[in-house]
Amino acid sequence: MKCKWVLSLFLLASCGPANNAPPAATQRSNENADLEKTLWDVNQQWLCSGPYQKPYKDCVEFRSKYWVDQFFEVIPSGELLNKEEMVATQTAAIPSNPAPGTGPNPDAFKLRAVYGDFAMATDHTNFKTADKKSGKLAFTSNAKVLRLFVKENGTWRPAAAGLVPIISPTGPLNPSKHSTTPRKSPNEQLEKELAEADRAWMDSSDMNKRVAYIGKLFTDQWFEILGWDPTRDTSKAMVLDVLPKLAATAKPGEGVVQDQFQLQAVFGDVALASDRHRSLLVFVKQNGEWRSAGASLTPILTP
């Protein structure tokens, strides 16, 4: 497989954050330390890993109930699958009877930001597969993952994920089960508003203007997982340091163009979206204004 980017991305390394929805905690309080432990447990349940390992069939059935209704995921190949499609794809794999321990094994879980009943975290997930001849399990790929959680009826549940490969899977891509049901926006007016905000911060026609806009648009705890450098922690401060330097040499119009923006889910004052570049985009509403809280960018893999 080769990794194919659908557009020039080098300037996107300069995308950054700003501030505002219940304000995200800026200190590692005991409360957030406890929440991190809670969400790490939720994460392991989600992935049927650690103390929650179970037969593959049971895991698929559990996830179908554990994920929120609006759940979606950008998988390592760059495909975006909603809950229905995730369940269908994983159900289709049940007859192959994957060996126990096959699949995701997360570690390095880190709570990144909390906005009321919504939380953003990252982990480093390794994937095990069974050797076709010996049957022995071995780590074959891994990814840095943006993991999103929402609290519903007093219980934290998985809301979405964006997987950015560090070591891409080898071999042919397994086909995913895509729904034939036409996609309907959960809120068409909000989708237009957020699409414009997303377009504006990527507008490279005036780099200095872009820097000022990003400074206000991104939350203080904004972060991004970059497809071409997933191990780096890209922060708002880093972006605001890099962009002014680019402004001195960048040509007007040079950079990334937003395309195929889609609002995927809304949880009160939090909205999740995607675009053609297989970005998982997180927005939060603070002081009446929508701001960018973070993103992950997954390369689109082709055979």
pLDDT at 278 over 60: yes
Q: Between β-strands 218-226 and 229-235, what pairing exists: parallel, antiparallel or unpaired?
A: antiparallel
155 vs 178 pLDDT, higher one: 155
Residues 226 and 294 grouped into a single domain: yes
Sign of the CA dihedral running 127, 131, 136, 138: negative
Mean local confidence (pLDDT), 257-277: 89
- The encoded tokens of residue 294 equal 């973070």
Same domain, 241 and 136: no
- pLDDT for res 41: 98
Output DSSP code: residue 49: -
Give residues with Cβ within 8 angstroms of 264, minimum separation 6: 70, 72, 80, 82, 160, 186, 272, 273, 274
Last residue of a domain, one of 167, 202, 217: 167
Question: What is the mean pLDDT of the segment spanning 209-228?
Answer: 92
Give pLDDT, residue 27: 43
Number of domains forming the structure of the chain = 2
* 194 and 211 housed in the same domain: yes
Structural domain contains residue 285: yes
- Is 227 domain-assigned? yes
Q: Are residues 6 and 48 in the same domain?
A: no
Among 48-52, 249-253, 290-294, name the one with the lowest average pLDDT.
Answer: 249-253
User: Looking at the structure, do residues 196 and 131 belong to the same domain, yes or no?
Assistant: no
Q: Are residues 9 and 123 in the same domain?
A: no
Are 161 and 210 in a shared domain?
A: no
Q: What is the mean pLDDT of the chain?
A: 86
Least confident of 76-85, 262-271, 272-281: 272-281
177 within domain boundaries: no
Question: Per DSSP, what are the bridge partners of residue 80?
Answer: 74
Share of the chain above pLDDT 70, in %: 85
What does the DSSP 8-state code read for residue 186?
Answer: S
Tell me if 62 is assigned to some domain: yes
For residues 188 and 158, state if they share a domain: no
Domain boundary among 126, 141, 167: 167
Residue-range definition of the domain harbouring residue 9: 2-22+183-302
pLDDT at 97: 84
* Alpha-carbon torsion (260, 205, 284, 9), positive or negative: positive
Whether the predicted pLDDT of 8 surpasses 80: no
174 occurs within a structural domain: no
In a domain, 173, yes or no: no
- Residue 283 and residue 196 share a domain: yes
Does 153 have pLDDT greater than 90? Answer: yes
233, part of any domain: yes
How high is the pLDDT of residue 13? 36
Question: CATH number for the domain including 104?
Answer: 3.10.450.50
Q: What is the pLDDT of residues 78-112, one digit of tens each?
A: 999 999 999 999 999 999 888 888 889 999 999 99
Domain boundary among 143, 167, 191: 167
What's the whole-number mean pLDDT along residues 165-190?
88
Q: Is the pTM of this model over 0.85?
A: yes
Tens of pLDDT, residue by residue over 159-170, are 999 999 999 887
Give me the pLDDT at residue 242, please: 87
**Per-residue pLDDT tens for 9-68?**
333 333 333 333 444 544 445 779 999 999 999 999 999 999 999 999 999 999 999 999
Q: Indicate whether 90 and 119 sit together in one domain.
A: yes
Residue 10 and residue 107 in one domain? no
Give the pLDDT confidence of 110-128 residue by residue, as tens digits.
999 999 999 999 999 999 9
The pLDDT of residue 256:
57
pLDDT of 3 strictly over 60:
no
State residue 58's pLDDT score.
Answer: 96
Do residues 9 and 61 share a domain? Answer: no
- Interior/surface letters 29-52, b for 16+ CB within 10 angstroms, e for the rest: eeebeebbeebbebbbbbbbbeee
Does 178 fall in a domain? no
